[in-house]
Amino acid sequence: GAVVSQHPSRVICKSGTSVKIECRSLDFQATTMFWYRQFPKQSLMLMATSNEGSKATYEQGVEKDKFLINHASLTLSTLTVTSAHPEDSSFYICSAKAAEAFFGQGTRLTVV
Amino acid sequence: AQSVTQPDIHITVSEGASLELRCNYSYGATPYLFWYVQSPGQGLQLLLKYFSGDTLVQGIKGFEAEFKRSQSSFNLRKPSVHWSDAAEYFCAVGPATGGGNKLTFGTGTQLKVEL
């Protein structure tokens, strides 16, 4: 199947700083990418839908000014967690859609 | 609103035994149904999917699932579990307008395999 690469796989940052997570579709072009958040022992919650060249669509309750999404090309979407707080610590997973969605390996964010 | 229920949070089976993971969904129209597997610290890998047609679908790694509309279920099965199958399994439902759009996931079932 198609490959989606997510980087970094693990990051620790200080409260108040910003962290950028990249999601790349390596062997296909993805007009749409999705960002999910997964809390420990819980399911994946869709945060936003990222469309190449346009603004992301955020799910209800997700702060768009805190979770900045940029989808500048057909193979790259980035999620920036701004002014990170400990409660932002979570597992973030992206998926890229061609005919179906393929998932990245996730990013474990820990805010200290 | 669409929802997915995976009643079993944890399941432990012996290697070589059969496996069934339950999934029930609520959806207003014909759903697309998926099963994904997640290894620790990893993303999700698609095991199989149901869009239409034969209600018994075959997936990778010897898994299969049966769509039962009358029961709103899409249970995952494997006749003989291998130790490498230990992982978290997620059932998901999505709109019939295209695979992968706005998937709603169940809470997952953690599978342990005893040797």
> Cβ–Cβ of A102/B46 closer than 8 Å?
yes
Distance (Å, whole) CA B92 – CA B106: 6
Least confident of A79-83, A88-92, B36-40: B36-40
More confident residue, A39 or A79: A79
> Which of A9, A43, A46 is the closest to B106 by Cβ?
A43
Query: In the numeric block, which tokens belong to residue A87?
Result: 């409660």
Q: What is the mean pLDDT of residues B102-113?
A: 91
Residue B89 in this model has a pLDDT that exceeds 80: yes
pLDDT score for B99? 45
Strand partners, B35: B48, B91
Which residues of chain A does B104 touch, with a Cβ-Cβ cutoff of 8 Å? 46
Which residues of chain B does A102 touch, with a Cβ-Cβ cutoff of 8 Å? 46
Residue A18 in this model has a pLDDT that exceeds 70: yes
pLDDT bin (cut points 50, 70, 90) of residue B85 is: very high
More confident residue, A92 or B27: A92
Residue B2 in this model has a pLDDT that exceeds 90: no
pLDDT bin (cut points 50, 70, 90) of residue B97 is: low
Distance (Å, whole) CA A69 – CA A107: 15
Judged by DSSP in three states, B19 sits in strand
Residue A104 in this model has a pLDDT that exceeds 60: yes
pLDDT tens-digit readout, B53-76: 889 999 999 999 999 999 999 999
- DSSP string over B58-80: E-GGG-EEEEEGGGTEEEEEESS
Q: Which of residues 39-78 of A touch B (CB under 8 A)?
A: 41-46, 49
Distance (Å, whole) CA A11 – CA A72: 23
Least confident of A28-32, A40-44, A50-54, B47-51: A40-44
pLDDT bin (cut points 50, 70, 90) of residue A98 is: low
Judged by DSSP in three states, A110 sits in strand
Mean residue pLDDT of chain A comes to: 90
More confident residue, A43 or B87: B87
Residue A41 in this model has a pLDDT that exceeds 80: no
> Cβ–Cβ of B90/A44 closer than 8 Å?
yes
Cis peptide bond upstream of A8, omega within 30: yes
pLDDT score for A30? 84
pLDDT tens-digit readout, B18-59: 999 999 999 877 788 999 999 887 788 889 999 888 899 999
